[in-house]
Amino acid sequence: MMKVIFLLSAALLASAHEDCTHGRLFVSDADSTTVHVIDLNESLENLAPESSLNVPGKAGINLKATGSMKEVAAMYRGDETVGFTDGVVSFFDAGVSAILHGDHYDIAYRAPSMIENAGFECARVTHYTPHADKIALFCDGTYGDEAVGIDQENSTVWVIDETKFGDPSESALVFNMTLQGSHHGVAIAVDDDHILYSLATPDRIARTPGIGETEALPSTFVIEDFEGNAIHSLDDTNDPSKSCLGFHGEWAQDNQFALGCDDNHGGILRVDYNPSTETYSSFAVSYPDGFEGHRTGTFAGHSEAEHIAANFAVSGGASNLLAFTTDDSQITENMVLPLPVRQCAFAYEKGSADHILVFLPTGSFHVFEYHDDTWEEKVNVQVVDGMTQCSEALFVAGFGQAFVLVKESRVIHAIDLDHADHGRVEISTSTLDFTPFDAVVAGVPTEVACELEGHEHEHSGSAVFTYHVSFYLLLASLILFQPMV
Ligand SMILES: *[C@@H]1O[C@H](CO)[C@@H](O)[C@H](O)[C@H]1NC(C)=O
Ligand SMILES: *[C@@H]1O[C@H](CO)[C@@H](O)[C@H](O)[C@H]1NC(C)=O
Ligand SMILES: *[C@@H]1O[C@H](CO)[C@@H](O)[C@H](O)[C@H]1NC(C)=O
């Protein structure tokens, strides 16, 4: 009898394992162009690279996942001493796919491989925005300085169509353009033919001495079709619903957009696109009173999340997070969560999107839930002892997992979030044999993405799991109780 139950549990565990994946952790090497690949589909203990690949560029590769979570962008921003002109962007397949097999998905693993039809060269790639199966990349360029022999390098905008990755007959690069002048800007691919992007200030473009070099941030935006025809402008700097002064940070999901603006603007600019009429509307989401000098510079979103999270801080001063919905037209004080110190990173847990993960420069890790207009702290745990600044470690959110990679010691702290709801996390520690530069989780097709254990939302993966549990429990009770009847 024990044997039967044991076999049943083994079958149960095996089936649970195959139902979902946590993907892979990709880690770039600080001293080379190697990206190391760590499988997350088994235990978090003794994490070690299984394979690696080389990407174009030089040491110092930044990594981002594509919107589908099936590929990774590897980005070298360029060397400052040559005006970032040697910058390069490439994409590789993360090597995990979901294969439909009757009523369920099988997960197939293969070695990651470069995608041949999507790379390009650009100076200082910074903002990277997935939306509508596309990724818009904004390369800031360089203001330039004659005194040291560095020319102006204009900003450029690039759109990659994720559905065209690996297509031998055409390029996945579906749009690119060169802007006037350089600035630290943003682009969002609205759909197959519309692009929203920021413009440098007139003094920046004209290189007005004493002003041009200081005005690195945009204040106006335009939406054009891919042929360059103007569709909509966000350029009335007297109207907070039609401009975004001191922009830094964007959010884009399902034809709704948010741009983070400074305290002079006084809020977040929300933009909505109506695809049936191909028209735009926009409105300001005002910041609350009593937060002098605060601005939003970074957003965190998730397709399943009920809120958009954002930071809200004074440069060099107080730091907060806030959460709002796409219906909100103002931020109220209860939406604001004060932090003891400015965060290094914050992100939604990717599997279930119910928790906002925060990593602080003191080395502490926090899990928050925001519901009914209240922030609730679920977890507060010290992960890295003796840490004092963000530059010492990388923080990466995964699916029911999170990772802290400490650069100097090369230690990975892998955090299992399955019991975060009950205030508990399990942390496993491993050591790498290289110094990490950047890291990201990818290789998680939506159909087979792991959620937090015991998560209540309906999901194809967990539905299959529940089915297996009840089936085996029924079978077990039948076998167990039969002799007693
Ligand atoms: C985890 O991924 C590796 C390939 O990267 C594969 O060999 C292994 O079978 C996978 N394990 C499970 C439990 O799926
Ligand atoms: C678009 O990209 C191609 C390939 O890199 C380049 O040759 C071309 O000059 C670019 N066009 C613009 C307008 O930037
Ligand atoms: C670069 O920007 C300047 C304005 O600052 C403009 O005159 C020039 O034509 C731009 N170069 C390209 C290649 O578009």
- pLDDT at 470 > cutoff 50: no
Q: Which of 151, 180, 201, 205 to mutate to test the pocket of ligand 3 (most atoms within 8 A of CB)?
A: 180
CA 155 to chain centre: 23
Strand partners for 414:
403, 428
Report d(CA 281, CA 303) in Å as an integer. Answer: 21
Which ligand is nearest to the Cα of residue 212, counting in written order?
3
Question: Which token pair is 160?
Answer: 């990659």
Report d(CA 14, CA 234) in Å as an integer. Answer: 54
Hey, whose CA ends up nearest to atom 12 of ligand 3? 178
Mean pLDDT, to the nearest integer, of 349-362?
Answer: 97
What is the atom index within ligand 2 of the atom nearest the CA of 176? Answer: 1
Q: How far is CA 191 from CA 235, 255, 268, 274, in A?
A: 21, 8, 22, 11
Which ligand is nearest to the Cα of residue 111, counting in written order?
1
Mean pLDDT, to the nearest integer, of 415-430?
Answer: 96
Which ligand is nearest to the Cα of residue 182, counting in written order?
3
- pLDDT at 38 > cutoff 50: yes
Strand partners for 268:
260, 285
Question: What share of the chain in percent tops pLDDT 90?
Answer: 86
Tell me how far apart the terminal alpha carbons of the chain are, to the nearest angstrom. 16
- Secondary-structure breakdown of the chain: helix, strand, coil percentages, each rounded to the nearest 5: 15, 40, 45
Report d(CA 362, CA 340) in Å as an integer. Answer: 10
Question: pTM value?
Answer: 0.90
Mean pLDDT, to the nearest integer, of 450-468?
Answer: 53
E strand or H helix that includes residue 474: helix 460-481
More confident residue, 169 or 13: 169
Question: What share of the chain in percent tops pLDDT 70?
Answer: 90
Within 8 A by CB and 6+ apart from 467, the residues are: none
Hey, whose CA ends up nearest to atom 4 of ligand 2? 120
Report d(CA 38, CA 26) in Å as an integer. Answer: 6
CA of 116 to the centre of ligand 2 (A): 17
pLDDT at res. 484: 38
Hey, whose CA ends up nearest to atom 12 of ligand 2? 177
Four-CA torsion 407, 413, 415, 416, nearest 10 degrees = 140
Question: Which token pair is 395?
Answer: 């923080």
Instruction: Work out the angle between the directed axes of helices 460-481 and 2-19 (0-180°, nearest 10).
Output: 170
Tens of pLDDT, residue by residue over 175-229, are 999 999 999 999 999 999 999 999 999 999 999 999 999 999 998 999 999 999 9
CA of 42 to the centre of ligand 1 (A): 7
Instruction: Using alpha carbons only, give the angle 272, 274, 276 rounded to the nearest 5 degrees.
Output: 175
Which ligand is nearest to the Cα of residue 151, counting in written order?
3
Mean pLDDT, to the nearest integer, of 336-353?
Answer: 97
Q: Which of 85, 122, 178, 183 to mutate to test the pocket of ligand 3 (most atoms within 8 A of CB)?
A: 178
Nearest to 237 by CA among 228, 250, 229, 246: 246
- Ligand 1 pocket (Cβ < 6 Å) reads 17, 39, 41-42, 50, 109
Q: What is the DSSP letter of 5?
A: H
Report d(CA 309, CA 366) in Å as an integer. Answer: 15
Residue type for position 126: T
Q: What is the DSSP letter of 485?
A: -
In 3-state terms, what secondary structure has residue 332? coil
Mean pLDDT, to the nearest integer, of 460-483?
Answer: 40
Tokens 């293969």, located at residue: 110
pLDDT at res. 363: 98
- pLDDT at 245 > cutoff 50: yes
246, burial (CB in 10 Å: exposed 0-12, middle 13-18, buried 19+) = middle
Residue pair 418/453 in contact by the 8 Å Cβ criterion = yes
E strand or H helix that includes residue 440: strand 436-442
pLDDT at res. 463: 37
More confident residue, 262 or 472: 262
Mean pLDDT of the chain: 91
Strand partners for 478:
none
Burial 85-112 (b: 16+ CB within 10 A, else e): bebbbbbbbbbbbbeeeeebbebebeeb
Report d(CA 375, CA 195) in Å as an integer. Answer: 35
Q: 430: number of CA atoms within 13 Å, CB side?
A: 14
What is the atom index within ligand 1 of the atom nearest the CA of 96? Answer: 5
Mean pLDDT, to the nearest integer, of 401-405?
Answer: 98
pLDDT at res. 227: 97
Residue 396: count of CB within 10 angstroms of its CB: 25
118, burial (CB in 10 Å: exposed 0-12, middle 13-18, buried 19+) = buried
Residue pair 323/306 in contact by the 8 Å Cβ criterion = no
What is the atom index within ligand 2 of the atom nearest the CA of 173? Answer: 2
What is the atom index within ligand 2 of the atom nearest the CA of 156? Answer: 14
CA of 203 to the centre of ligand 3 (A): 14
Q: Which of 122, 158, 176 to mutate to test the pocket of ligand 2 (most atoms within 8 A of CB)?
A: 176
Mean pLDDT, to the nearest integer, of 260-284?
Answer: 96
- Ligand 2 pocket (Cβ < 6 Å) reads 120, 156, 176-178
**Per-residue pLDDT band at 7 (split at 50, 70, 90):** very low
Which ligand is nearest to the Cα of residue 174, counting in written order?
2
Within 8 A by CB and 6+ apart from 163, the residues are: 133
- pLDDT at 441 > cutoff 60: yes
- Ligand 3 pocket (Cβ < 6 Å) reads 154, 178, 180-181, 205
Residue type for position 27: V
Residue pair 442/72 in contact by the 8 Å Cβ criterion = yes
CA of 54 to the centre of ligand 1 (A): 22
Residue type for position 265: H
Question: Which token pair is 177?
Answer: 């353009």
Hey, whose CA ends up nearest to atom 7 of ligand 3? 180
Report d(CA 14, CA 28) in Å as an integer. Answer: 32
Question: Which token pair is 103?
Answer: 């009523």
**Per-residue pLDDT band at 18 (split at 50, 70, 90):** low
- pLDDT at 457 > cutoff 80: no
